Amino acid sequence: MRTTFEAAAISELARRTLRSSEVTYRTAAIFGDDIEKLCVALTDSSPSLMIEMNHVENSSDAITVDLSDNPGGRIGGDEPGQDLVWITGNTHDIWNRYLRVMIELSSAGYPGCIGCAGPSAELPWNENLSRARLA
């Protein structure tokens, strides 16, 4: 059941990211290439999608996603404030799933489409409930 709840949180963070005009990823250096590849993949899948992506290297095992237009999220690490989507578990696995979901959503036309992100995308996100389910 945890996988289903993780998938919902990953999708929420991906949707927030795709709705933002600027994203700053705070990660270990090993994730830098993934961010560059993500930029190319998003442009290829949806040329009208314009997101400025930045990478700030740190020594943390966590990945922080700072968004200019919305609260972002954190993959792994210590629990952040309730406005951020927090996804605990294997950081590398969750990161790869997050990247895949972002590309799938952008290929489907998100955020410019209606209903392409599934019915749960239309509902308000409840971070308290998500954290309780992932605990």
pTM for the structure as a whole: 0.87
List strands edge to edge, sheet with 52-57.
Answer: 52-57, 22-27, 63-67, 73-75, 85-87
Q: Which amino acid is at 82?
A: Q
Q: Is 99 helix (H, G, I), strand (E, B) or coil?
A: helix
Higher pLDDT, 114 or 67: 67
Longest Cα–Cα distance of the chain, Å, equals 39
Residue-wise pLDDT tens digits, 82-121: 999 999 999 999 999 999 999 999 998 887 676 665 666 5
**Where residue 2 falls among pLDDT bands split at 50, 70, 90?**
very low
On the 0-12 / 13-18 / 19+ scale of CB atoms within 10 A, 33 is: exposed
Query: pLDDT value at position 1?
Result: 42
Which letter does DSSP use for residue 31 in this model? G
Q: What are the DSSP E strand ranges found in 1-135?
A: 22-27, 52-57, 63-67, 73-75, 85-87
**Domain range list for the chain:** 2-134
Residue-wise pLDDT tens digits, 47-61: 888 899 999 999 999
Residue-wise pLDDT tens digits, 13-31: 999 999 999 999 999 999 9
